[in-house]
Amino acid sequence: MKRVLILGATGSIGTSACDVVRTHPSDFSVAGLAVRTSREQAETLGREFNAPVFSGEDAACRAVAETEADLVLVSTVGLSGLAPTLAAIEKGMDIALATKEVMVAAGEFVCARARAKGVKILPVDSEHSAIFQCLQSVDGRVRNAACFWQNRGDVARLILTASGGPFLDAPADLSAVTPAQALDHPRWKMGPKVTVDSSTMMNKGFEILEARWLFDVPVDRIDVVVHPESIVHSLVEFTDGATLAQLSPPDMRVPIQYAFSWPVRVPAARRALDLPAVASLTFRAPDEGRFPCLRLVKEAARAGGTKTAALSAADEIAVDRFLRGEIRYTDIPRLVADTVAAAPELVCDSLDNILSTDAFARDFAARWKA
């Protein structure tokens, strides 16, 4: 039985993770639960799973320090997931990673620490779980976890799929978009930050950076394709012309369960994919004119160092300012671009460099004027 520590237990990923444990009591147990707020809800879960509950600003780090677990699910918001991730790595606990910003802001540093400690980082995002599964199936052997994947040269491209969000077919001028419209995602129910990021496709840009570090593939060989049905979760194109894809109904419990059970699969009583019912799968290239955040992400990645940490922090502030009515929807990429350009060029080889860049970017973005 795997003991799982759940950080961000009452969020959408944490709730789904609890459901996975609930339906597989002989395979998984909850070692502990951490929340920043929602303590009452977390205590109810703690009683159900007979697990300690940690709450407050430093709950995630305290939970890692005081709990013994086989796997730590990091599903907190933004860069708050970085410190507990690094703490778990230092303790030698494997990571099931759902917080994109950890890899966006500090992927180079985090992966170096994980390799040094022999810690596995397992992807929870459906797109990265799909890639992980496709890569493992290449030669019929179970491969090492994502952070330890060595690019063998037979991978031509990673192809991330995107739903397209609420504005895929909207008029070209998005300057009048309201927070309510941006939060109305047609496919997924997520927190406000992730939902707005999905609408701008910054979320997909973050996934490019996450894939870059998890799978050791340069960003110029990671593409995005819009797939509104959200059935094909991602694809891997190999140098011999073959392309493998992972398909399943849109249900986050599928990749969460695989991260928990890896390197084996455990049965699940949930609906399987019915291809005749799906009938058709459609794909199209993303419009970078409508979604400039995709371009901004690749530019920051090419710049290297802690520029992506500035990108992550700037986006967090921009989304918050948009939701509070301080800036327009179309100001989000403008604010992010200006912040990244202004951020210092530091090497991503220490926590101090990452955090100082994050602080600079937050301050700059908070003072930014259109």
Percent of the chain with pLDDT over 70: 95
Which of 150, 147, 78 has its CA nearest to residue 118?
147
Question: Which of 97-128 are b and which e, b meaning 16 or more Cβ less than 10 Å from the residue's Cβ?
Answer: bbbbbbbbbbbbbbbebbeeeebbbbbbbbbb
Res. 120: pLDDT tops 50: yes
Instruction: Show the tokens assigned to 76.
Output: 């907190």
In the chain, % of residues over pLDDT 90: 79
The pLDDT tens digits of the residues spanning 229-256 come to: 999 999 999 999 999 999 999 899 999 9
The pLDDT value recorded for residue 109 is 95
Choose among 212, 245, 199, 215: nearest CA to 348. Answer: 212
Mean pLDDT over residues 156-180, rounded? 88
Buried b (16+ CB within 10 A) or exposed e, 143-161: eebbbbbeeeeebbebbbb
Residue showing tokens 């009683």: 47
Q: Where are the beta strands (DSSP E) in the chain?
A: 2-7, 28-35, 53-55, 71-74, 94-97, 121-123, 155-162, 222-226, 232-238, 243-247
* Residue of higher predicted confidence among 270 and 273: 273
Domain with CATH 3.40.50.720 in the chain: 2-146+250-271
Q: What is the pLDDT of residues 326-356, one digit of tens each?
A: 999 999 999 999 999 999 999 999 999 999 9
**Encoded amino acid at 67, one letter:** T
CATH code linked to domain 2-146+250-271 = 3.40.50.720
Are 70 and 4 within 8 A, CB to CB? yes
Looking at domain 157-227+286-367, which CATH architecture does it have? Orthogonal Bundle (1.10)
SS3 of 284, please? strand
In the chain, CATH 1.10.1740.10 covers: 157-227+286-367
Structure-token match 């047609």, residue found: 186
Output the six-digit token pair for 176: 């009048």
- Helix (H) or strand (E) holding 46, with range, is helix 39-49
Residue 138 has a pLDDT of 65
Q: How far apart are CA 346 and CA 223, in angstroms?
A: 27
Give 167's DSSP letter. Answer: G
What average pLDDT does this structure show over 261-267?
A: 91
Total H helices, total E strands in the chain: 15, 10
